[in-house]
């Protein structure tokens, strides 16, 4: 315990030094919100990766992999191909150029200035500020669960203490301080996962032997999971079963594609000086994503074999049914004692990097994109307004983390990714690539995508009973609750909202865009010229 405390204090000292350096170099709102647009490819890639991959992936989805097995490796593929390669090389280059031409400092401001609409900017900022604390709470819960298991501290005390530590350098240092610390934290995460992969491989006597042993354990799959279609950790789910729909529509599709519309990631494209940095960042970022979630999901899956061999229980039984505790228990009970110190540091890095970005984007969304769009706030102390917004985001996140139930990390992450996907992606994508995209079309798409996604979640999806709105209004848990088990209507409750909401959002953007007057895009002439069109 003493060693963990000392090492953690040394780590925190390094983080606060980098935050202080960011504060010293922050002299304008461009510095505070976009790190001065001068970040190197390596710092940008590490910051992007550390923001993207957090305790949600390592603790939350690592635990989910212990339930659903190697099927989650499809998410790693999409994380790399969509979340890094397409995001940086296709979306990133146009975003950087448009952001520079329009002098945009946040993702909502980019949308607002592209469509010449303060309403769009305020709507996007409001959605982000209201819902990003839920995603941030999932990350906060992940690291505090590790602190609880590793250091024996009270979970709620860990929540309060960790929040206070993190709030200091985010509120003061802005995005420059955030990105400096994230680059350092990303390097720690890489070291942690390399060691974890090597130690687990040695313990299992080789990957091939471990996969074979896990395949033979298929009869041990819990009956609850078998009932929804799981056949084994290696075998995967039956095609079209509820488990198949949960894995491939919510986890793989919702999170894998949803990364394209994540405001805390989009803003990173505007922090580099040129396209060359984005090309290099795509290489660094791909390697980072391959290593971090790739190792986490494999270890989560293989933990079943190791737990069963050493303790006679599969991972879910070891954790008492709470998937958020599987990875922390694996580290404490299976890995060498010295590694738990390193892993704790790696998770501190993962959590602090992502939370810093979430707090920052939530705060700037409220301060710059909502408050500043109100006429009486226009032009008044933009950095001060953003800092007030960051403080509000921190406080709301802490409240969510206090009240959310167990096994929530992956679900809360998937919810936020999906909500951003349906609300923002059509307006963002078409705004970058289609001159005919209109303000009315973008508004229709954002509002339609948001409300369709929320309707599906509150009245159709299997998680609707947890909210209780459908029960209160209609007297049934969900609107498909009375359908015959196994029918296509019954299966709708396992389909992610964005399977419906995203196509509808795109349709609204295109149809309404074609039906409304073609906009005067004179303010975009420089953008299109730079795009080569």
Residues 6+ apart with CB under 8 A from 127: 419, 420, 423, 446, 450
pLDDT at site 496: 92
3-state secondary structure 356-405: HHHHHHHHHHHHHHHHHHCHHHCCCCHHHHHHHHHHHHHHHHHHHHHHCC
pLDDT at site 226: 94
Burial of residue 380 (number of CB atoms within 10 Å: 0-12, 13-18, 19+): exposed
Model confidence at 210, pLDDT cuts 50, 70, 90, reads confident
Residue 73 has pLDDT above 90, yes or no: yes
Residues 6+ apart with CB under 8 A from 287: none
> Phi and psi at residue 321, in whole multiples of 5°?
90, -5
Read off the DSSP letter of residue 53: S
Decide which of 374 and 101 is more confident.
101
Confirm if 454 and 141 have CB atoms less than 8 A apart: no
pLDDT at site 406: 72
Residue 113 C-beta-side C-alpha neighbours within 13 Å: 18
Cα 437 to Cα 95, 259, 449, 489: the distances in Å are 16, 22, 16, 35
Tokens encoding 411: 């679900």
For 160-179, write each residue's pLDDT tens digit: 887 877 776 555 554 555 56
Domains and CATH numbers, the chain: 2-225+263-422 (1.20.1730.10)
Alpha-carbon distance 207 to 202, whole Å? 9
Model confidence at 341, pLDDT cuts 50, 70, 90, reads confident
Read off the DSSP letter of residue 238: P
> Is 320 in a helix, a strand, or coil?
coil
**Any idea which of 169-178, 434-443, 483-492 has the lowest mean pLDDT?**
169-178
Decide which of 282 and 19 is more confident.
282
Long-range contacts of 212-221 (CB under 8 A, 24+ apart): 213/305, 213/309, 214/69, 214/301, 214/302, 214/304, 214/305, 217/304, 217/305, 217/308, 217/314, 220/304, 220/308, 220/314
∠ CA 120-122-126 to the nearest 5 degrees?
115
Q: For 294-301, what is the mean pLDDT?
A: 92
Residues in the chain: 533
For 133-149, write each residue's pLDDT tens digit: 988 888 888 778 877 77
Q: Where are the alpha helices (DSSP H) in 116-261?
A: 118-151, 155-204, 207-216, 223-227, 242-245, 256-258
Q: For 302-318, what is the mean pLDDT?
A: 92
Residues 6+ apart with CB under 8 A from 44: 179, 268, 271, 272, 277, 278, 281
Residues 6+ apart with CB under 8 A from 88: 48, 269, 278, 279, 281, 282, 285
Read off the DSSP letter of residue 518: P
Confirm if 60 and 410 have CB atoms less than 8 A apart: yes
Residue 289 has pLDDT above 70, yes or no: yes
Using left for φ > 0, alpha for ψ between -120 and 50, and beta otherwise, residue 11 falls in alpha
Confirm if 63 and 331 have CB atoms less than 8 A apart: no
**Any idea which of 67-71, 263-267, 284-288, 336-340 has the lowest mean pLDDT?**
336-340
Confirm if 421 and 260 have CB atoms less than 8 A apart: yes
Global pTM reads 0.84
Model confidence at 7, pLDDT cuts 50, 70, 90, reads low
Alpha-carbon distance 32 to 360, whole Å? 9
For 384-425, write each residue's pLDDT tens digit: 677 788 888 888 988 888 888 777 777 888 888 889 999 999
């Amino acid at each position: 315990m003493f060693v963990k405390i000392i090492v953690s204090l040394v780590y925190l000292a390094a983080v606060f030094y980098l935050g202080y350096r960011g504060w010293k170099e922050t002299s304008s709102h461009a510095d505070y919100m976009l790190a001065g647009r001068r970040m190197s490819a390596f710092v940008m890639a590490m910051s992007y990766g550390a923001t993207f991959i957090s305790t949600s992936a390592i603790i939350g989805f690592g635990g989910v992999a212990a339930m659903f097995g190697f099927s989650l490796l499809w998410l790693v593929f999409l994380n790399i191909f969509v979340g890094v390669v397409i995001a940086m090389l296709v979306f990133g280059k146009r975003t950087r150029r448009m952001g520079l031409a329009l002098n945009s400092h946040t993702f909502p401001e980019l949308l607002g200035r592209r469509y010449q609409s303060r309403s769009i900017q305020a709507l996007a900022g409001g959605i982000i500020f209201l819902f990003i604390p839920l995603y941030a709470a999932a990350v906060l819960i992940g690291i505090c669960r590790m602190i609880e298991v590793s250091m024996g501290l009270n979970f709620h005390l860990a929540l309060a203490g960790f929040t206070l530590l993190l709030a200091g350098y985010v509120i003061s240092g802005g995005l420059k301080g955030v990105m400096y610390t994230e680059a350092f934290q990303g390097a720690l995460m890489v070291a942690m996962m390399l060691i974890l992969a090597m130690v687990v491989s040695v313990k299992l006597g080789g990957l091939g032997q471990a996969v074979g042993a896990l395949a033979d354990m298929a009869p041990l799959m819990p009956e609850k999971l078998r009932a929804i279609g799981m056949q084994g950790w290696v075998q995967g789910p039956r095609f079209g079963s509820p488990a198949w729909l949960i894995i491939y529509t919510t986890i793989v599709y919702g999170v894998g594609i949803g990364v394209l519309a994540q405001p805390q990631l989009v803003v990173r494209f505007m922090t580099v000086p040129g396209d060359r940095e984005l090309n290099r960042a795509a290489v660094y970022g791909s390697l980072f994503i391959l290593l971090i979630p790739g190792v986490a999901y494999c270890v989560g899956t293989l933990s079943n074999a190791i737990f069963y061999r050493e303790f006679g229980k599969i991972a879910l039984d070891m954790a008492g049914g709470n998937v958020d505790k599987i990875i922390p228990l694996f580290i404490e009970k299976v890995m060498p004692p010295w590694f738990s110190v390193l892993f704790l540091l790696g998770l501190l890095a993962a959590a602090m990097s992502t939370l810093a970005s979430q707090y920052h984007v939530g705060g700037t969304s409220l301060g710059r994109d909502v408050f500043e769009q109100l006429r009486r706030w226009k032009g008044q102390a933009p950095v001060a307004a953003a800092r007030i917004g960051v403080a509000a985001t921190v406080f709301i996140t802490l409240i969510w983390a206090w009240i959310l139930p167990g096994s929530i990390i992956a679900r809360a992450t998937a919810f936020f990714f999906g909500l951003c996907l349906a609300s923002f992606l059509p307006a963002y994508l078409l705004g970058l690539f289609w001159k005919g995209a209109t303000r009315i079309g973008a508004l229709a798409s954002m509002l339609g995508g948001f409300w369709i996604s929320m309707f599906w979640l509150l009245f159709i999806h299997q998680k609707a009973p947890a909210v209780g709105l459908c029960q209160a209004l209609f007297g049934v848990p969900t609107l498909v609750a009375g359908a015959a088990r196994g029918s296509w209507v019954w299966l709708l409750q396992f389909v992610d909202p964005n399977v419906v909401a995203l196509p509808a959002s795109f349709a609204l953007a295109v149809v309404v865009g074609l039906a409304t007057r073609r906009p005067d895009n004179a303010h975009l002439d420089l953008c299109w010229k730079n795009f080569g069109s």
